[in-house]
Structure 1
Amino acid sequence: MTLLILGLATFLGIHSIRIFAESFRNAQVAKLGLNGWKAVYSIVSIAGFVLIVYGYGEARLTPVAIWTPPLWTRHLATLLTVPAFILLAAAYVPGTRIKRAVGHPMVAGVKIWAFAHLIANGTLADVLLFGSFLAWAILNYASARRRDRAAGTEYVTGPITRDLTAVVVGLAAWTAFAFWLHVWLIGVRPFDG
């Protein structure tokens, strides 16, 4: 559990700098340059992610049950991840109406993903992992929207085909993950039960 906690603190800590320490971030960008800051940010993020993966895998070997979720929560979680994948895709397709409406679709997708997994899993490691990501995503989303309002950020939209692209790519990624990758990477079949 120690590695999981250390990984969460590292990964979410570096990802929380704009929420809690914008002036520190700006000072680092001024000192290191934008690319230098991105390099440090990426290295710390990767280190945190690796610790999360190993820590969560280790914690799953000796699970500490907090509650036993009903079977239907697994199916609900699987369905809730559909919009999460579409939002993730919309974050990378420029000029979507989705991004204009949501502002920060990746963070919104993380909120849905974390909530979905939190309701479907009842071990201590699950609560730490998904609860931490949910709390971070809520705080990050609110902070990012405040920055948008302060900066007067307007998200420009392009043709509707961009939204259709985000939906198709999101659905394709969800299908691949739900039916093949989730069991291969995590060891759990979302539709079993």
Structure 2
Amino acid sequence: MSLLVAGILLWSATHLFKALCADVRARLIARIGEWPYKGLFALLIVASLVLMVSGWKATLPTALWQPPAFLRHVTMLLVPIAVILFISARAPTDIKRFIRHPQLTGVKLWAVAHLLSNGEIRSVVLFGGLLAWAVLEVIAINRRDGAWVKPGPVGATKTLISALIGLALAAVLVYAHPWLSGMPLLPRG
């Protein structure tokens, strides 16, 4: 469990550093250069992911509660929406006219969806931890950046293409879920 917690804390601290310590970050980039900074950032993110995956695998799935079966269906509905939001952050889409932080909103929705259908301690730590990080990240970014200036419209076609890409990625994630997490989502047959 300690590796899992360490991974979540490293992930959170690395990401929050940009929003909470903008001056320190700027001085660090000025001192070591932009590409070495990006390399260090990437290394810390990879290390946090390794810690989270290792911690997840090393932690026995101890049940806190047994979620009702219907919540699995709710999760299967919410995750594709979360993926669409996640994708829309980097794509031309009108979603950004309605949601200031679509990527972080997608992470929050993904985490909530997984908390609904997983009642074991390691799930609460992982998904609850990442949900807490995403909430704090939104607050920190909003404080740093000030008032939201909504982007201009890009049109229904680009928004639809982005949504279809998100749905396709969600389908790939459902199929790959056993290899990514060790948990099959679809019946074998």
* TM-score, normalised by the number of residues in structure 1: 0.88
Answer yes or no: is 1:25 the counterpart of 2:25.
yes
Answer yes or no: is 1:175 the counterpart of 2:171.
yes
User: Whole-Å Cα distance in 2 between the matches of residues 11 and 146 of structure 1?
Assistant: 20
User: Whole-Å Cα distance in 2 between the matches of residues 82 and 69 of structure 1?
Assistant: 20
Q: Which amino acid aligns with 2:88?
A: A
User: Whole-Å Cα distance in 1 between the matches of residues 19 and 70 of structure 2?
Assistant: 35
Offset, 1:131: 0.4
The answer (yes or no) to whether the contact 1:66–1:124 under 8 Å persists in 2 is: yes
User: Whole-Å Cα distance in 2 between the matches of residues 35 and 97 of structure 1?
Assistant: 32
Offset, 1:47: 0.8
Answer yes or no: is 1:133 the counterpart of 2:127.
no
Distance 1:56 1:129, change over 3 A: same
% identical equivalent positions:
35
Q: Is 155-164 or 85-94 further displaced after alignment?
A: 155-164
Offset, 1:154: 4.2
Aligned residue in 2 for 1:98: 95
Q: Is 132-141 or 20-29 further displaced after alignment?
A: 20-29
Give unmatched runs, 5+ long, in structure 1. Answer: none
Aligned residue in 1 for 2:14: 14
Write the mapping of 1:1-193 to structure 2, written as runs, cut at 5 A. 1-59=1-59, 62-94=60-92, 96-150=93-147, 153-178=149-174, 180-191=175-186
The answer (yes or no) to whether the contact 2:20–2:144 under 8 Å persists in 1 is: no
Q: Which amino acid aligns with 1:18?
A: K
Q: Deviations over 1:86-143 (max 9, x none)?
A: 011112213x211222122111100000111112111111111000100111111222
Give unmatched runs, 5+ long, in structure 2. Answer: none
User: Whole-Å Cα distance in 2 between the matches of residues 23 and 181 of structure 1?
Assistant: 40
Offset, 1:11: 1.5
The answer (yes or no) to whether the contact 1:93–1:165 under 8 Å persists in 2 is: no
Offset, 1:153: 4.1
Offset, 1:83: 0.9
* TM-score, normalised by the number of residues in structure 2: 0.89
Cα RMSD for the two superposed structures: 1.8
- Number of matched residues? 187
User: Whole-Å Cα distance in 1 between the matches of residues 110 and 45 of structure 2?
Assistant: 19
User: Whole-Å Cα distance in 2 between the matches of residues 35 and 136 of structure 1?
Assistant: 25
